[in-house]
Structure 1
Amino acid sequence: MEAHVKYVPMRMNVSTGPVTAGLRPLSARSVVLSMLLAVHPPELPVKDLIRLVEPFGVGGSTLRAALSRMVAAGDLWRTDAVYGLSDRLLARQRRQDDAVHPRTRAWDGDWEMVVITATGRGAAERAELRTRLTALRLAELREGVWLRPANLDRPLPDGLHRVAVTYTARPDEPAHDLVARLWPLSAWASTAQTLLTTASDAPSPADRLTAFAAIVRHLLGDPVLPPALLPPTWPGSELRTAYAEYQREVVASVGVEGRVRGC
């Protein structure tokens, strides 16, 4: 599902009802991306796209204009009457899939630690590395020192060794105290509950889509901590379940329900 709800919209905002929780209505481009990000493989005939986006207020001419712009911008490829995500957006789909279906393992108390050793990098390079490490659900303890509980079933990228060294660590500080320093869990949980309410109360299909786009974006920031380190009412699983059910609902509406990951 399209995660970037703050994308500057086209002339036509497809949501005509009130948008709550400070969410911006999605553009035609964002609606198209939301549909393609939901299916596997991420490609659909234009006739299916027309059927999918119509409930969200996107007409045929608006859709075709958006598709043309997206192909020209490198967001999509086109073969005959079929449109699919470009390689760049396939990477986004993988990140979103992982946010909804994170792969975890039992936690034995170990922590992943990444210490940045590269020097002389420009601001853009530093920002890009910070984005990469955040996407790995690492958190920065102090400048250049990133860590998290070692409960994710995924390797660190091969290229990371060129700019950092990695360790398996057992901090002396109590794990709950360290988690509290690294992640604003109360704020994340509060936003999650607000988004769940917003999605449940959304007055139109377009507003529901806007809310669920914000939900999947919020899931990208879930640290996916071991259960022992989470607050007792952590809403992460509830948020994932709500999004997965909505994803199945949207895709099933055009008869391709078997193409949602996890179905």
Structure 2
Amino acid sequence: MADLSARSVVASTLLGTVPPRLPGRLLVAFAGEFGIQAGTTRTALSRMVDRGELRHLEGGRYELAGDLLARHLRQEAGLHPIVHPWDGTWELHVVPPGARSSTDRAALRRAAGHLGLWERRDGVWMRPANLAPDRLPNARAIVAAQTESYVASPTENPASVLASLYDLAGWSGRAADLIAELEETGTERTTPDRLADGFVLAASALRHLVTDPLLPPELEPEGWPARHLRTAYDSYLGDYQAGLRAFFRRHTMSDASVPRVEGHGPTMTP
């Protein structure tokens, strides 16, 4: 298991908690399972408050703020997507001619990714029109400000268009690996003495789930594993949460909100 920083453990744990707040003593205790000293975690909490990543609430609780809170909201939307029946049309967003700053380009790329749009070529973003058109208003506003939007019906075979936009085999292969890991070794990682190991597995599965391209059934390749992965993750999560509750009971006299962990430290470290 890779070494995780105190900030990474705190951020990842709160990203997976609904609502995204926990007592500081539980964050400190949980970070200790990764070999992180209590003083190190308390310093990380203070610095995250100073950077606007956390808010320190009365009663010694901490909750997500700023960009991490926005990420939490996107994650929840990805885990509970609103998917509509597909009528065969596609969302199409085209950047009009003209100079744009590198900052604007980067913002558009991030926003398009959050909305599940894929780049056909430079300045052209699209996906099947089966998701709620008002999803993620902040990301939608960025895309609307920089592109012209259309409803399109490609003359090419839709499966061919999709294959040119998204690495279906790559997503499917990683999902299959995670399903096998969750079903074959997941249970042994949910006991209170293996929470750190289980945290990393849950994080990996959830990270992949929120990148699900949310294909219309008409475009799903044979054996597409998205639903199987969600089922395997939900089953594992129930066992993992039970292990966390047992761990938290050792540090408090009452049940605590139990994390649904997401992400592992190195990808979140600034």
**TM-score by structure 2 length?**
0.77
Runs (4+) off by over 6 Å: none
Contact 1:192–1:239 (CA under 8 A) maintained in structure 2: yes
Q: 2:33 matched to 1:33?
A: no
Q: 2:125 matched to 1:141?
A: no
Contact 1:116–1:164 (CA under 8 A) maintained in structure 2: yes
Deviations along 1:170-203, one digit per CA (max 9) or x if unpaired, are 1111111111111110011111222334455376
> Root-mean-square deviation (CA), in Å?
2.6
Q: 2:41 matched to 1:63?
A: yes
What is the aligned counterpart of 1:89 among 55, 68, 77?
A: 68
Contact 1:110–1:169 (CA under 8 A) maintained in structure 2: yes
Pair 53,37 (structure 1): closer, same or farther in 2 beyond 3 Å: same
Alpha-carbon distance in structure 2 between the residues aligned to 1:33 and 1:248: 21
Deviations along 1:45-100, one digit per CA (max 9) or x if unpaired, are 22333454444444433322221222222211112311110132111001111222
Q: 2:69 matched to 1:79?
A: no
Q: Where does 1:97-176 land on structure 2 (aligned, <5 Å)?
A: 97-117=76-96, 119-155=98-134, 157-176=140-159
- Which segment drifts farther, 186-195 or 232-241? 232-241
Q: Where does 1:221-240 land on structure 2 (aligned, <5 Å)?
A: 221-240=211-230
Contact 2:198–2:240 (CA under 8 A) maintained in structure 1: no
- Which segment drifts farther, 88-97 or 50-59? 50-59
Amino acid at match of 1:117: P
1:179 alignment counterpart: 162
- Which segment drifts farther, 99-108 or 38-47? 38-47
Pair 84,56 (structure 1): closer, same or farther in 2 beyond 3 Å: same
Contact 1:26–1:210 (CA under 8 A) maintained in structure 2: no
2:268 alignment counterpart: none
Q: Aligned-pair distance for 1:117? A: 1.3
Alpha-carbon distance in structure 1 between the residues aligned to 2:117 and 2:209: 14
Q: Aligned-pair distance for 1:37? A: 1.6
Figure out how many residues of one structure are paired with residues of the other and give that number.
Answer: 238
**Corresponding residue SS for 1:119:** coil
Contact 1:248–1:257 (CA under 8 A) maintained in structure 2: no
2:252 alignment counterpart: none
Alpha-carbon distance in structure 1 between the residues aligned to 2:220 and 2:177: 19
Deviations along 1:194-220, one digit per CA (max 9) or x if unpaired, are 233445537642222123222222233
More helix per residue = 2
Q: 2:173 matched to 1:190?
A: yes
Amino acid at match of 1:185: L
Contact 2:6–2:41 (CA under 8 A) maintained in structure 1: yes
**Corresponding residue SS for 1:99:** helix
Contact 2:89–2:153 (CA under 8 A) maintained in structure 1: yes
Alpha-carbon distance in structure 1 between the residues aligned to 2:96 and 2:231: 39
Contact 2:52–2:66 (CA under 8 A) maintained in structure 1: no
Alpha-carbon distance in structure 2 between the residues aligned to 1:190 and 1:30: 27
Deviations along 1:126-157, one digit per CA (max 9) or x if unpaired, are 12211211111111112111111111124262
Alpha-carbon distance in structure 2 between the residues aligned to 1:25 and 1:198: 21
Alpha-carbon distance in structure 1 between the residues aligned to 2:181 and 2:39: 30
Contact 1:25–1:207 (CA under 8 A) maintained in structure 2: no
What is the aligned counterpart of 1:214 among 184, 195, 204?
A: 204
Contact 2:49–2:55 (CA under 8 A) maintained in structure 1: yes
Pair 36,85 (structure 1): closer, same or farther in 2 beyond 3 Å: same
**Corresponding residue SS for 1:84:** strand
Amino acid at match of 1:188: W
